[in-house]
Structure 1
């Protein structure tokens, strides 16, 4: 007669052995990398976040970089996309201006991003996740939520054991490490995955959630950005523990619907489900200049080129959108966003550009800009896009002309037909490339 499997309270991450909670090392392989928790058998919501993803891929592909500080990002005028943990010791962080990153770590090796390579690795990891459970909710190229509820019968293992095996196999087969957060819901799982990076496996259980959250700053709550965090701090609320002591009705009276969310999340209560398919929230394109630009006339052709890129992506994906957002970054790294909305969704470059140009004209007041971008949001299917405009009789002609240009570009290439504005933008881009060299 087979012996019953003892409850899982401790697990070796290196060999998968089930251990007694009192174990200091694995009795099978001797590893000290154990994960212990009284709820380890019952938790099933995970957040997996690859460690320094782009930099890890570059180090994998070039072993000579293993012990070097590596920054993946643009040139002197760009920003840090990501950096390895060695570079982080020197104070380098994602989204930091490149010149500041190199001031902090002048010996760093800078590598331009290879997005095609990163996307390929990300896709392979995503497919491996989907082999564990169909409930995979991607957040970005290198992180996702997983719901492993009910997978014990399929894998003959608890979710914790399945996740530990997944990470071991990913490191061995793909050469990339990741950190895991395991919890009863998405909010706590995301917090847990950040606790022990890199190569972490952290657990936040239901019983301890409030105590773990209490000392954390309010900025750790999902949906609390920098501006709202500053507002809460001005109101004397700095820690999640302070929110726990407040009534939900009081928080709602102060901050509206977000106040109710603060009340729930501060106690570790998150009812959001892991949603397998996350549609794109927006489609956008942007560019950083080699030298700052202040002239409206110089910015216009660049904006037109970006609007055409966004339009092409929308058409390819059979999407349209009602919102257009202009993004600008000033010479002193302040980000400006301005938006307008249409009554009907669009996917036409002509309309996207016209909206962006109107917004740009207001902002181009002599300030120097280092970046410009444009995006379309409030996405929906393309079948309702750009209906006939009875008030603008020329709109239909412009639409048909744009679609005719699209057909020519599909057949002969994107440069087969160019407007004067886009030709100027391409010339500016070529000049930028020469400057980068």
Structure 2
């Protein structure tokens, strides 16, 4: 089993997983899986993986994703984590990197033709607890493309160790001394899903539930299969569906949400409906999680230990223990005492037309608040030839409303220069698995 050169040369090594060998790492349909069984399966799968330098990890089952992730790292290869499993997205990721293959657990017809499919019964090999070098590159995560071309973000094993310790410190008060069970609606390939539902059970005393429930009743059933205390890891889109469905959930230690702004009204409604705290975390594929807040009661964000922000004219520079170098995000912030901050929008969202100013986020919220609107987004198009400012456009899901009526109501809420032209009705917005809206998909619906 070849090992990466950087793994062999680095002096600082750390165990692949933490905790006693009999701790329950995961809950599958067949029952709990101990850490010892998991490590044996990692060694077994690693021995069967193809040669290569990179592996696109397309496993859908969360436990099998984790086994494949660790096996790939144990081989000294790098996990490539695309923002979606769409064939074009996967093909784009593969062509960027030499000596790349795919690993999956779905039916072969749903995977690339040369994909390495994990066997139904995972092989096991005995051996010592695997070790990984602190500086070993274990993953490259890709942004969703919601603001343009997806970007690549390398992650070392050491950075994951540090960020997971920070996340544990930021969330552990939700469940106390007991080992929590994590149920997640987000895919493990997304960095938020990776941090909260893969790395936390691997590197902290927590248990993962292997599925990825989507519909409210599926979420309730998944939560019922795991022991308390239960933590639900989700997104605002899924949380809204849960609240509106009226579904009853088992007692929860907490709900964690990210990937999109959480409206305060929704956070409060979820806390009242499910009798638990909703904790929103803030981060990105580039930075991982670096702040938290209880959105139902707070507007300011609390930085995680060791993190500090440096406002810039075009965004904010993030300094954190798990970041080798500071990362510049497009978010504009106002710093507050006590290591807190409030968001003031994004430079790319700010609009200035005919001397008047607005933000795409605020315009979107106004459109979403209209009666009969189920979902909506406002965006700015690229300038047309001969023009210096792009037009404002919008897509809306409002089956019972007419476009003319919506525009008339918007005239009462915003300056006419910001009225979306065109405003186009669609059956659904092209949200990806985490609820984000890739810009190229929006432009396609608008015919651009």
Larger strand proportion of the pair = 2
TM-score, with length taken from structure 1:
0.26
Larger Rg: 1
TM-score, with length taken from structure 2:
0.25
